[in-house]
Amino acid sequence: MIDPSDGPALAELLLRDRQEYARWLPARPEEFYAPGGQATVVASLLESYRKGLAWPGVVVSAGAVIGQITISSILRGPFQKGFLGYWISSRHQGLGHTSRAVGLALRIAEDELNLHRLEAHTQLENLASQAILRKHGFRSWGIAHEHFYADGAWRDEVFWERRLNDGRTAQGASTQ
């Protein structure tokens, strides 16, 4: 789970990788990359958690924050689903951290949040992220053309889904 004290580490990682990730992430105001900006982001994520709309986490290795993973846009009622998003510092990629984080998020989504479904998006060219999602049982179900604006251009994205809790009745959902 993310903690307010994670803000400075997240800001440092995001600032360091800002240019490398410009292709994958939306443009942000300068304050987003500062500890104060990340403190605001973390506070907002924790408020969404308290409201049951998100589960925000950080990825840690050797006691240091190296990335972030979030289950957001949680819908209850007949949907019981959330949206998975994640990023790992460029210095820590290719070491299994993302796969470990996605596996943990799946367990949290199923066991703690009692979700039926997780969804994710990847840009068409993000083959590494697509491989991780496939490894964890996600299936692609379509492409949205010009779906996401990053680094001065509209990007195509692949939509992914993973069903969880098969056979359970959704809390608050109609069973008829």
DSSP letter for each residue of 50-94:
HTTS-EEEEEEETTEEEEEEEEEEEE-TT--EEEEEEEE-GGGTT
Q: What is the pLDDT of residue 175?
A: 38
How confident is the model over 119-159, as pLDDT tens digits?
999 999 999 999 999 999 999 999 999 999 999 999 999 99
* Average pLDDT for 110-127: 96
What is the Cα Rg of the chain in Å?
A: 16
Q: What is the pLDDT of residue 174?
A: 42
State how far the Cα of 143 lies from the Cα of 106, in Å rounded to an integer. Answer: 23
Which of the two residues, 139 and 23, has the higher pLDDT score?
139
Block residue for tokens 């098969």: 166
CA dihedral defined by 58, 61, 63, 65, rounded to 10 degrees?
-40
Q: How would residue 169 be classed by pLDDT, with cut points 50, 70 and 90?
A: low
Contact predicate 7/39, CB 8 Å: yes
* Average pLDDT for 76-87: 96
Q: Per-residue DSSP letters for 94-158?
A: TSSHHHHHHHHHHHIIIIIS--SEEEEEEETT-HHHHHHHHHTT-EEEEEEEEEEEETTEEEEEE
pLDDT over 80 at 176, yes or no: no
* Average pLDDT for 15-31: 91
**Single-letter residue type at 14:** L
Domains of the chain: 4-119 (3.40.630.30)
Q: How would residue 7 be classed by pLDDT, with cut points 50, 70 and 90?
A: very high
State how far the Cα of 57 lies from the Cα of 87, in Å rounded to an integer. Answer: 11
Q: What is the pLDDT of residue 25?
A: 87
